Structure 1
Amino acid sequence: MLPWSAELAGRLDDHVLSSELLRGNPLGDPSDRPLLVYVPPGYDDDPGRRYPSVYVITGFTGHVGIWRNRTPFRRTFPETADAVFASGEAPPALVVFVDAWTALGGSQFVDSPGTGPYHSYLCDEVVPWVDAHYRTLDAPEHRAISGKSSGGYGAMITPMLRPDLFGALATHAGDALFEYCYLTEFPKCVRHLRAYGGDISRWWDDFQGRTSFTKPGDDDLLNMRAMAACYTAKDDGTPELPFDPVTGVLRPDVWERWLAWDPVRMVPESADAMRSQRAIWIDGGRRDEWFLDVGAEAFRAALLAEGVSEDVIRFELFDAGHGGIDYRYPMALSWLCRRIAPTG
């Protein structure tokens, strides 16, 4: 296994998409975004053939460039995806790697006055662009979305909000059941903020003025500020924390707004959308540090309670924590592609 490169049976196309929706976003992030499109073997041989598509979105602090990062003794996801198609394990599909990074580390793939319209960017700009430039099967039953962690979160909520675009999903340790994956972080942040007089904006100014992640609490506070910017930003973009930063006491009105974005709680209002899905892959490590295995169980139970057929759900908990689970991605990709492939 070479540590620097590998030949693909298909190809990986590099693009830059100029977004009108992201122009002038609150954080001043670039509106020109990289986009990678994996084209399976044989795509150029039959100009009349159209293909299903799978959109891959990243976890928190992820950007599209991470898909080329190579972990020792493991292949990159584009390479393992390529192997799935080259071996015939899965019917061919386009795989689209989307960038939704922000200066705060992520967007949660939602529209927010604190970060920008990243949900709309994905749905109303990226998807139409791919359909216009590649021979896709432009229908939700042939389009899936997949991600891990925050990407898994985006993969859960995007088909709920846009079942007209996405008819299948895979979530690997996606953020869910917020009282377990987020609430336990609140007291940690209160402790970290004592050094900043309980003011997270003071921490943010300090963080931006030095080498990142060189002080205790940087990871926790960055995640907290980013989630607040995504879920509960004011109209002027100011993020509202769901707890008092000095006492730690919950702010019920703000916390309820966070909870409204919890995929488990979103299922009942999106029941029709979820019942329309052709495939739902849910997995997570039994030792996940943010208890996202518990969130996965709750998400599955919520789907079943709303009448989603067990036949469309693939659920598995496995022995792992939150990290190092990229070997799961091609497994889900193969399963999704078999479910969204055209029949006949």
Structure 2
Amino acid sequence: MLPWSAELAGRIEQGVVDSVLLRDNPLGDPHERPILVYLPPDYDRSDRRYPVVYTIQGYTGHVGMWFNRMPFRRPFPELADEVFAQGDVPPAIVVYVDAWTAFGGSQFLDSPATGRYHSYLCDEVVPWVDARYRTLADRDHRAIAGKSSGGYGAMVTPLLRPDLFGAFATHAGDALFDVCYRPDFRTVARTLRDEYDGSYPAFLADWRGRLHGTRPSDLDLIELYGYAAAYSGNEDGSVAIPFDDTGAVVPEVWARWLEWDPVLMAARPEYREAVRSLNAVWIDAGNRDEYHLDFGAVAFHRALTAAGVGADAVYFELFDAGHGAIEYRYPLSLAWLCERLA
């Protein structure tokens, strides 16, 4: 296991998506976005077409971070390459998508407070890949996968766009909002009170004027604000916070968040046909997840089953781990998805 790099059996091409939909986004974030496309080992030796797995990241993730190398571990692009190197897993193209925002993430949704990141993914990134590579350009050969907020995006995107995606993998994806998000409201409300006189604008003004992470509360405050920007952004670009100064829920704002809870979405009639059309679903989470997303995984699995997803189309597992350092799970779901996409 080399500590700095490894030779790939396939290869990765770097490109740029010039997004019309992200131009003039509310945060002034770049509309030209990097994209990485992994081509399997036999791509240049054949004229065949390939399934595609779109890979999206958790909160604070951007596409360059895929190559971060931790001690004694390999980054996912190398683990993904190893899935195909031996030739016993049907090959696929793997696309690494960037959906970073100035708040640290977009939840891969369209929001007037951040930008049209769901439409960018579906209506610009997917056609960009299909136009440049030999893909099997239909929903039965296209999947999306991610962890944490990326797992959230992987859960909701096929429900919103079943015409594009027929399969997905979610690793510890954000779900069951009452359990994974709501308990944090009281903590954030107290931090805002004690450090910023209860004011999110005061926090943002301070945060923007210094290096992120120089105060211990930075990540907790900006992460929850980023979620609010995605789930309860207002048409004027402002952000509705789902709790008051006591940490109690603001019902009308919280209801907007719950509209985006994958567990509740899977149970709603408007998504029933999309749920039942799913060909392959991988759901897993660590049983010691610090955000209690193992409960979200269980609840989402149950919701899909109740909505009519066939048992043979779903892989579900709680494994012994927390929320972080679970990149070794990604090649497992990748291989599983590729078997079914083929």
Which TM-score band applies after superposition, normalised by the shorter structure? over 0.9
Q: CA deviation at 1:193?
A: 0.4
Q: CA deviation at 1:224?
A: 1.0
Map of 2:57 onto structure 1: 58
Q: For the Cα contact (< 8 Å) 1:51–1:94, is it kept in 2?
A: yes
> 1:149 is aligned with what amino acid?
S
Distance 1:116 1:225 in 2: 15
Overall identity of the aligned pairs, in %: 63
Distance 2:210 2:331 in 1: 38
Distance 1:268 1:296 in 2: 15
Q: For the Cα contact (< 8 Å) 2:190–2:247, is it kept in 1?
A: no
Map of 1:92 onto structure 2: 91
Bigger drift between 93-102 and 213-222 goes to: 213-222
Q: CA deviation at 1:216?
A: 2.7
1:2-41 maps to which residues of 2 (within 5 A)? 2-41=2-41
Matching of residue 310 in structure 1 with residue 318 in structure 2:
no
Matching of residue 259 in structure 1 with residue 258 in structure 2:
yes
Distance 1:215 1:9 in 2: 43
Per-residue Cα deviation, 1:78-102 (whole angstroms, up to 9, x for no partner): 1111111011231000000000000
> 2:206 is aligned with what amino acid?
D
1:120-159 maps to which residues of 2 (within 5 A)? 120-159=119-158
Matching of residue 210 in structure 1 with residue 226 in structure 2:
no
> 1:119 is aligned with what amino acid?
H
Q: CA deviation at 1:8?
A: 0.4
Q: CA deviation at 1:234?
A: 0.9
Distance 1:151 1:123 in 2: 15
Distance 2:239 2:213 in 1: 21
Number of aligned residue pairs: give it.
339
Distance 2:70 2:256 in 1: 38
1:1-344 maps to which residues of 2 (within 5 A)? 1-47=1-47, 49-194=48-193, 195-244=195-244, 246-269=245-268, 270-341=271-342
Q: CA deviation at 1:75?
A: 1.2
SS across alignment from 1:220: helix
Q: For the Cα contact (< 8 Å) 2:186–2:248, is it kept in 1?
A: no
Q: For the Cα contact (< 8 Å) 2:148–2:173, is it kept in 1?
A: yes
- Provide structure 2 residue ranges, at least 5 long, that are not aligned to the other structure: none
Distance 2:65 2:273 in 1: 34
Q: CA deviation at 1:9?
A: 0.5
> 1:294 is aligned with what amino acid?
F
Distance 2:235 2:59 in 1: 23
Q: For the Cα contact (< 8 Å) 2:172–2:297, is it kept in 1?
A: yes
Q: CA deviation at 1:62?
A: 0.1
Runs of 4+ that moved beyond 3 A:
none
Q: For the Cα contact (< 8 Å) 1:271–1:303, is it kept in 2?
A: no
SS across alignment from 2:213: coil
Distance 2:33 2:14 in 1: 11
Aligned-residue RMSD, C-alpha: 0.7
SS across alignment from 2:103: coil
SS across alignment from 2:43: coil
Q: CA deviation at 1:321?
A: 0.5
Q: CA deviation at 1:154?
A: 0.1
TM-score of the superposed pair, with normalisation by structure 2: 0.98
Per-residue Cα deviation, 1:157-185 (whole angstroms, up to 9, x for no partner): 00000010001000000000001110011
Q: CA deviation at 1:249?
A: 2.0
Q: For the Cα contact (< 8 Å) 1:288–1:321, is it kept in 2?
A: yes
Distance 1:44 1:233 in 2: 45
Q: CA deviation at 1:253?
A: 0.4
> 1:300 is aligned with what amino acid?
H
TM-score of the superposed pair, with normalisation by structure 1: 0.98
Per-residue Cα deviation, 1:307-335 (whole angstroms, up to 9, x for no partner): 11111000000010000000000000000
Q: CA deviation at 1:74?
A: 1.2
Per-residue Cα deviation, 1:231-275 (whole angstroms, up to 9, x for no partner): 00111111111110x222211000011011000000023121111
SS across alignment from 1:15: strand
